[in-house]
Structure 1
Amino acid sequence: MFKRQLIAELDKWRQNKLRKPLVIRGARQVGKTTLVNQFAAQYEQYIYLNLELSEDKEPFENFTSIENLISALFFLKNKRLAKKSTTLIFIDEIQEVPKALNTLRYFYESAPDISVIAAGSMLETLFDKNISFPIGRVEYKVIRPVSFPEFLSAISETAALEQLTQVPIAAFAQTKLLSLFHTYALIGGMPEIVQHYSTNKDLVALGPIYDSLISGYMDDVEKYAKSNAQILHIRHCIQSSFAQAGKRIKFEGFGNAVYKSREMGESLRTLEKALLLQLIYPCTTATIPMIPDIKKSPRLQILDSGLLNYFVGIQKEIIGTNDLNSIYQGILIEHLIGQEILAFQYNALSALQFWVREKKESTAEVDYLFQYDGLIIPIEVKSGKEGTLKSLHSFMDIAPHDMAIRFYAGALNITDAITQKGKQYKILNLPYYLGSQLEKYIAWFIETKKPDPKS
């Protein structure tokens, strides 16, 4: 299996003397267990516990003290207590024993020398229940679908990966990286899909895996739902979310259903807690803090663009296209750029943002906002000339800076732009494949804009 870049974050956590037990969140099938199994190679001892198994579950169900629990776990897995400080304990599927969550606080308070990680594919469903979470005693990280750099690593394109991470990107790398990114855009970032493609390079053979992934999410409905009626609502939301991905939605009649706003809202928010989708509410200002306006219609972001492609049937259109913006009215590439921006935001509260100005006479909308060093940087995902970026101009008229970003099918460059009101600003034009490198390029952009002290 290929390595995930989140391992670098886990290593920082491991070396932190003040670390807390770590809870890894993520949707089903995004690679939580595989990630921790790979990370465990950095320890002398590794205790893996799957609380779906009765023998692993029992010590937590019979918990009386942290000392007895630790002794039982080391005995159960035939590990040496003398090596506690070089041991990683991974509690997988922790949601199967809800009170096991509270034992994490005791690890933090009474056994801080032991590294403890917990995860669960349905962990988020416990957040609404009467479960005692060890607030302030645990840390959280989120794992998401495979990013483009991880995809390059998985298919052994080491030279391409090396060039991708160079700032600024070399001009000679453009054609190959754009071609590889088209393949990534086609198949998406679900680890099982990426692993299968890496091994077999067979796009046709991926169909049954997509089917299995989507069916698995549908089968989980009973675990998410609070009632039989909500089972129907959530199942409808899962099916409809693929066709509505990348679009602004209304809860009332979502997916051409007869269901009411409250029913659809509750179901979509349940799926959001399970990290299967995100409801992105728009911001209406150009200065911090970025506060979403929940009175306005949200835009729907689903877990993975590859699932979107497969479900709506646009995979063949992607093959051979010169510009991903021409596919599916530009929705696919806009959605994928959002997925790439989010891929390296590992904190539990990380979220995408976009901007709107809604007036009776006109509406302006900027695809994404990115906060950097106290500034809100607007991001458009568009082809065409700068003069067509009317919404971007509207945002820049109220922004307290002169920087904007556009992702497109062309090469890296910086161009000058001017709004209808006469404000001059600069646009950093980035090839689509640099979405994962956004933060590095903003820093480079700012540095590039500085006047030369020698001039």
Structure 2
Amino acid sequence: MERTTMHELEKWKASRYRKPLIVNGIRQVGKTWLLKEFGRRHYTSTAYFNFEEQPEFREFFATTKDPSRILQNLMMASGQTITPETTLIIFDEIQECPDALTALKYFAEQAPEYHIACAGSLLGVALAKPSSFPVGKVDFLEMYPMSFSEFLLACGDENLAAYLESLDAVEPLPAAFFNPLYEKLKMYFICGGLPEIVLAWAEDQNVDEVQKRLANIITAYERDFAKHMSPKDYPKATLIWNSVPSQLAKENKKFIYRVVKEGARAREYEDALQWLCDAKLLVRVYRNSTPRLPTAAYDDISAFKLYLADVGLLRRLAQLDPSVFREGNRLFSEFKGSLSENYVLEALTPQFDAGLRYWAMDHPDYEVDFLLQRKNDVIPIEVKSEGNVEGRSLKKFKEKYGDAVKIRVRFSLANLKLDGDVLNIPLFLADSTDKLIGIALQELYGDEH
């Protein structure tokens, strides 16, 4: 299966400023497979070391920080050959060997001719801990679940993926493309983007197998809670994790601790919640008070929404049966359209550096699902999952902030269209949001955008 992240690895290899690389992402997102495939395609050889399966290798990093001695010991113990420039060295499950993380500094300073890439489960948690970390001496690459475009390629729909890639104008899509893309997106909502699940569907088209494997992955995540968290936080993390579908099913999706447990307070649950976010399993989207730059400066950290890292995981955790696939638009609108919102969040996150926020007003109630910072523009985004695409909150946002709002974006099941300053993007085109906004801004304001 092709991953767009492969292109980022190729740029890393070619960079004159290359440092040891840390690939971060949730468990089962395909980090190890990608690095091994990268080594197979672009290097003469690959030397692979797994600190969880081979704990004896950790000792080599505890006794010395000299790269030459470390590599010599690794080669002698493993029987693998390592040569500068032509061997990709993979340190997997590196969170199990903190000394190896520290050693990356010395590889960057003393042995830059060696190409080192690291991955690990719950690496975000390990990196969040105060320890001797090689600040400024490593490169980072964030790896996300497979996008809808990657899902199409994996399922043999290269023609549809190529069509999406070729779009260069904001104009309605022909039914010959719109209708099959709409149906394929339903299946993406069922499966999500974890490679094991996508492969299971692509090979056998067996929904029962998809259900079973998603359940197994969720169980593995929950075992990680027990294995890696403190005993006091483990039950709290489990309660938070299981509460996400019900939090998103509310009319107001703001995270409320008492939904987790009656009488729960933020200070009691914050550590468990932060662990889940550091593990990349949950994504926290803060409420933003005003659409100014930088958006992070106007966050209300007491108000936020929580989403899962993958739409398939959310559907499975919510116990939404795949049979909903056959019931018109219900898959997109179920529990207040939260699957659609989760999907849009996933699609937008890799495209833009600044994280997404949301905007809300009280008395009367208005809420814009997401705020997106693109270059020097703050763009309001609304996600509609039913036939009605009228957006009172999007309209209110424009009334309140006027000319500061250059464009508004609505994701829906309607066709691609620029209606005044409202850009309607079909949900299945979310991977192309940055490009489509650029085209629309140029059409509205000219070349400067």
Normalising by structure 1, what TM-score?
A: 0.89
Query: Does structure 2 conserve the Cα–Cα contact (< 8 Å) formed by 1:243 and 1:308?
Result: no
1:414 aligns with 2:393: no
Alpha carbons of 1:242 and 1:213: their partners in 2 closer, same or farther (altered >3 Å)?
farther
Match of residue 309 from structure 1: 315
> Which moves more between the two structures, 45-54 or 117-126?
117-126
1:368 aligns with 2:374: no
The 2-side partners of 1:430 and 1:126 are apart by: 38
Match of residue 70 from structure 1: 71
Match of residue 58 from structure 2: 57
Match of residue 30 from structure 1: 29
Match of residue 270 from structure 2: 265
Alpha carbons of 1:107 and 1:363: their partners in 2 closer, same or farther (altered >3 Å)?
same
1:175 aligns with 2:182: no
Match of residue 100 from structure 1: 100
1:396 aligns with 2:395: no
Alpha carbons of 1:259 and 1:286: their partners in 2 closer, same or farther (altered >3 Å)?
closer
Match of residue 257 from structure 2: 252
User: Which runs of structure 1 show a deviation greater than 6 angstroms over 4 or more consecutive aligned residues?
Assistant: none
Alpha carbons of 1:59 and 1:413: their partners in 2 closer, same or farther (altered >3 Å)?
same
1:13 deviates by 1.0
Alpha carbons of 1:246 and 1:147: their partners in 2 closer, same or farther (altered >3 Å)?
farther
The 1-side partners of 2:155 and 2:301 are apart by: 44
Match of residue 151 from structure 1: 151
SS in 2 for 1:14: helix
User: What is the RMSD computed on CA atoms of the aligned residues?
Assistant: 2.2
The 2-side partners of 1:330 and 1:64 are apart by: 52
1:451 deviates by 6.0
SS in 2 for 1:135: coil
The 2-side partners of 1:395 and 1:155 are apart by: 40
User: Where does structure 1 lack aligned partners over 5 or more consecutive residues?
Assistant: 417-425
The 2-side partners of 1:19 and 1:246 are apart by: 45
1:440 aligns with 2:446: no
1:351 deviates by 2.6
The 2-side partners of 1:163 and 1:198 are apart by: 20
SS in 2 for 1:99: helix
SS in 1 for 2:300: coil
SS in 1 for 2:303: coil
Match of residue 14 from structure 1: 13
Query: Does structure 2 conserve the Cα–Cα contact (< 8 Å) formed by 1:251 and 1:262?
Result: no
1:253 deviates by 2.0
1:222 aligns with 2:223: no
Q: Give per-residue Cα distances to partners, 1:15-50, cap 9 Å, x unaligned.
A: 101111111111111111111111112111211110
Match of residue 90 from structure 1: 90
**Count of aligned positions:** 434
What pairs with 1:274-293 in structure 2 (closer than 5 Å)? 274-291=279-296, 292-293=298-299
Match of residue 381 from structure 2: 379
* Residue 298 (structure 1) aligned to one of 301, 304, 308: 304
* Residue 347 (structure 2) aligned to one of 319, 325, 340: 340
> Which moves more between the two structures, 261-270 or 88-97?
261-270
1:410 deviates by 1.5
The 2-side partners of 1:313 and 1:270 are apart by: 24
* Residue 428 (structure 1) aligned to one of 423, 428, 435: 423
Q: Give per-residue Cα distances to partners, 1:294-339, cap 9 Å, x unaligned.
A: 3442111111111221222323223342465432221221221111
1:213 aligns with 2:249: no
Amino acid at match of 1:202: N
